Chains A and B, each alone.
Chain A
Amino acid sequence: MKVRQARWAALAAAVLILPACGAPDDGGSNKASEPFVIMISGGADAGPVTDQLRTALTAARAGVATVNEEGGINGREVKLLESPDNANPTKALSALRAQIAKKKPDAYLVGAGSNVSAAIAPILNQNKILFVNAANIAATGDPKQHPLAFNLAASTQVVVEGYLPMFEANGYKKIGVLHGNSAYAKTFGKLAESVFKGAGYDVAGVEEYDSTALDMTAQISTLRAAGPDVVVFNAYGAPAGYVLKGITKLGWDVPLLGDTSVSSTPLITQEPPVGLLGSPDLKHLKLEVTKSTVYDPSAEATNKAVKAMTSIGQIKGSMNNCLGYDAILLVAAAAKSANSTEPEAMAKALEDPSVTSAAGTAVYPTYPFSADSHEPKLPLDTHSFAEPGPIVNGQLNSPK
């Protein structure tokens, strides 16, 4: 009887101990010979954001190639693991769970689709996976909620504050705001109102449109009745065209300032017959762009990135869609600085501005994160305004 009890006890102990004897998948330094795996939300058909998704993938692939050419991440070859979820949050979540069950990735990158970011962020947090997020959501910019997550895109606050020097320079006093009804667009509208009012400007009207609507005459008529000196608007894709055609139809000669979404819309930045460049609809329009979207022969890091990206694919839209390239370089720089691929150590390193400044990033020259905020505190002059022109290889005035 005692022998049987002893056998059962031994079996129970074995059951408890054996799993602990397996190789822990903790992303730790014991994987020095294994590739550094970065999982990315990808695919080929994501509806209206297909171009953004494809360009983000191209950018990430170029980033991986660049880092691998320079010896990888702390000597480990970087491998990009593409999740074919088409920016669908449910599919992205399933793919991530399946991958974690199989083998935990070292980092995760979202290039397009804030719904995907919102869906997977808690799982990445739970599994202590570094998350570099080009599709900003508020939660991933807050280290208290997600200590291992970092937003890469300029915050809406930075985008909105970028208008203030333009108002000042042109003497605009009464501002009209037109925005869509997506989560980002609503935030843009709210922030525009509060920031402009806070800066002493008269916000004559704030109008929202349904992003599936086919006509903006009603909203434009309302804004026109308010008599603003300038209209600030947010739109991506066909709605950008509806806004411009609506304004032309009404014969309203008001200066228009499109945000970075407008400048990422090929309809606005391509010459006829594909786009509207040169048409009367764009006569009064100026576009808010990141500095890297305007070609500068002296911008070595940006030009190197463009070359790397165009050698493996197309850049559709502007450089704003290429944050995936910077994401890979930032992770590599963080690992090098921390001398570790432990996610906590890399996150800590990313909070050091000297690390992100030296990463050789292309879209923004630096990503000033801090221990209090994982949203890059980009300077006010991050964006500038440019006349609409053909965007080739992600840039205005590109030498092609």
Chain B
Amino acid sequence: MTLIYAGLSLGAVYALVAIGYNIVFVASRSFNFAQAQLMTIGAFVAYTGHVTFGLPAIAVVLLAMIAVMLIASIEERIAVRPVADHQTQLITTLGFGTMLTGIAQLVWGSQPLDVPFVGAKGAITLLGGRLYTFELGLIVLAIVLVVVIHLYNRRMMSGLALVAMSQDDEAALLRGINVRKLAFAAFAVTGLLAGLMGFFIGPKTFAVATLGSALALKGFVALAIGGFGSFYGGLAGGFAVGLVEAHAARYLGSEFSNLSVFLILILVLMIRPTGLFGQLQERTV
């Protein structure tokens, strides 16, 4: 059971990255390759709030969310909006992510920093397995976020507008939806959530400048397995990647850990090219 918890908590981290990718993808059909770096900044800000400023947990969460939201907003203005096509945005967001890694290293250094967690510090036993409370928090956070975002997209007017935009932004514009404003809002929200995620992932992964690059690839694999645009897919993909990684490392050896993950990705894409929960879209040719 301990290994399953380890896989799920690791998978939750990947799922959180995939959720961030999905929010921007649903709103603007583009990928924000700086998402993992935004989460890393969130972890660093959480460290600063906790350790340097000695703030209470709620203030730390708010600080991390607001700080990363501002950074994501700047990213939208300088790395996304001026760029016309989505392919080029892959490069500009990747560049912005690289810049964030460099800035993090300059500000916080290259060594890992231990981000405190507000809950119990020690490990607990749950259903015969051992896990840290922050790992449990990560799993719960990933599930709750996905459910909330799903409900928001189904029940709220702005959520429905986002879905409409993702399907046809010109038609959405004609229906009076402010596409540009919503795309900007999606970036700001993804930043807000990245700050929240950073607060939770920091205690597991430490705040370290190179964390973003470690998360970005696996987060993308989680998204590809689950299906682009599907939040439940991203969650399932994240958990699948985490579980496969942990079990492959335990029973086959760490050399097979990444290999197994990519093997699963290839298998899924061969059977369902749109991912487990991805939807086929008809196009006029």
Inter-subunit contact A222/B250 (CB<8 Å): yes
Chain B positions within 8 Å of A237 at CB level:
111-112, 208
- Contact A275/B2 with A218-B246, A241-B206, A249-B132 known, Cβ cut-off 8 Å: no
Inter-subunit contact A212/B214 (CB<8 Å): yes
Inter-subunit contact A250/B205 (CB<8 Å): no
Inter-subunit contact A207/B102 (CB<8 Å): no
Q: Which residue of B lies closest to A266 (CB)?
A: B111
Which of A215-231 touch B at CB < 8 Å? 215, 217-219, 221-222
Name which of A210, A218, A221, A251 has the most chain B CB atoms within 10 A of its CB.
Answer: A218
Q: Does B130 contact A (CB under 8 A)?
A: yes
Q: Which residue of A lies closest to B10 (CB)?
A: A215
Interface string of B239-269 (1 = CB under 8 A from A): 0000001110110011101100000000000
- Contact A208/B102 with A241-B206, A267-B114 known, Cβ cut-off 8 Å: no
Q: Does B3 contact A (CB under 8 A)?
A: yes
Q: Does A150 contact B (CB under 8 A)?
A: no
Q: Which residue of B lies closest to A49 (CB)?
A: B110
Name which of A215, A245, A272, A316 has the most chain B CB atoms within 10 A of its CB.
Answer: A215
Q: Does B16 contact A (CB under 8 A)?
A: no
Q: Which residue of B lies closest to A180 (CB)?
A: B254
Chain A positions within 8 Å of B114 at CB level:
241, 267, 272-276
Inter-subunit contact B116/A217 (CB<8 Å): no
Q: Does B123 contact A (CB under 8 A)?
A: yes
Instruction: Tell me the count of chain A residues lying within 8 A, CB to CB, of chain B.
Output: 39
Q: Which residue of B lies closest to A272 (CB)?
A: B114
Inter-subunit contact B255/A208 (CB<8 Å): yes
Name which of B50, B102, B123, B211 has the most chain A CB atoms within 10 A of its CB.
Answer: B123
Nearest Cβ on chain B to A12's Cβ, whole angstroms: 54
Chain B positions within 8 Å of A207 at CB level:
254
Q: Does A214 contact B (CB under 8 A)?
A: yes
Inter-subunit contact B3/A50 (CB<8 Å): no
Docked CA distance A93–B202 (Å): 37
Inter-subunit contact B112/A218 (CB<8 Å): no
- Contact A51/B247 with A217-B6, A250-B2 known, Cβ cut-off 8 Å: no
- Among the listed A50, A251, A265, A276, which residue makes an inter-chain contact with B130, where contact means beta carbons less than 8 Å apart? A251
Which of A178-217 touch B at CB < 8 Å? 181, 207-210, 212-215, 217
Inter-subunit contact B254/A209 (CB<8 Å): yes
Chain A positions within 8 Å of B51 at CB level:
273-274
- Contact A218/B208 with A51-B111, A210-B257 known, Cβ cut-off 8 Å: no
Q: Does B131 contact A (CB under 8 A)?
A: yes
Interface string of B35-59 (1 = CB under 8 A from A): 0000000000000001100000000
Nearest Cβ on chain A to B42's Cβ, whole angstroms: 16
Q: Does B210 contact A (CB under 8 A)?
A: yes
Name which of B50, B102, B112, B246 has the most chain A CB atoms within 10 A of its CB.
Answer: B112
Nearest Cβ on chain B to A213's Cβ, whole angstroms: 7
Name which of B51, B204, B246, B254 has the most chain A CB atoms within 10 A of its CB.
Answer: B254
Chain B positions within 8 Å of A212 at CB level:
214
Inter-subunit contact B253/A47 (CB<8 Å): no
Docked CA distance A251–B2 (Å): 11
- Among the listed B2, B110, B113, which residue makes an inter-chain contact with A274, where contact means beta carbons less than 8 Å apart? B113
Q: Does B9 contact A (CB under 8 A)?
A: yes
Interface string of B114-136 (1 = CB under 8 A from A): 10100000110000001110000
- Contact A215/B246 with A210-B258, A249-B131 known, Cβ cut-off 8 Å: yes
- Among the listed B9, B110, B210, B254, which residue makes an inter-chain contact with A213, where contact means beta carbons less than 8 Å apart? B254
- Among the listed B113, B132, B210, B253, which residue makes an inter-chain contact with A48, where contact means beta carbons less than 8 Å apart? B210
Which of A243-269 touch B at CB < 8 Å? 245, 248-251, 265-267
Name which of A181, A273, A276 has the most chain B CB atoms within 10 A of its CB.
Answer: A273
Inter-subunit contact A218/B205 (CB<8 Å): no
Q: Which residue of A lies closest to B102 (CB)?
A: A45
Interface string of B1-22 (1 = CB under 8 A from A): 0110010011001000000000
Which of A47-89 touch B at CB < 8 Å? 47-51
Which of A274-320 touch B at CB < 8 Å? 274-276, 280, 316
- Among the listed B50, B102, B123, which residue makes an inter-chain contact with A251, where contact means beta carbons less than 8 Å apart? B123
Nearest Cβ on chain A to B8's Cβ, whole angstroms: 11
Which of A128-180 touch B at CB < 8 Å? none
B residues lining the A interface (CB < 8 Å): 2-3, 6, 9-10, 13, 50-51, 102, 105-106, 109-114, 116, 122-123, 130-132, 204-206, 208-211, 214, 245-247, 249-250, 253-255, 257-258
Q: 5 A-B pairs, CB-CB below 8 angstroms?
A: A51-B109, A181-B254, A217-B2, A250-B123, A274-B51
Can you add 20 more A-B contacts, CB < 8 Å, to A208-B255, A273-B116, A276-B114? A46-B110, A47-B209, A48-B210, A49-B110, A50-B105, A51-B109, A51-B111, A210-B249, A213-B257, A214-B13, A215-B9, A217-B2, A218-B247, A218-B254, A219-B254, A241-B114, A250-B123, A266-B111, A267-B112, A316-B111
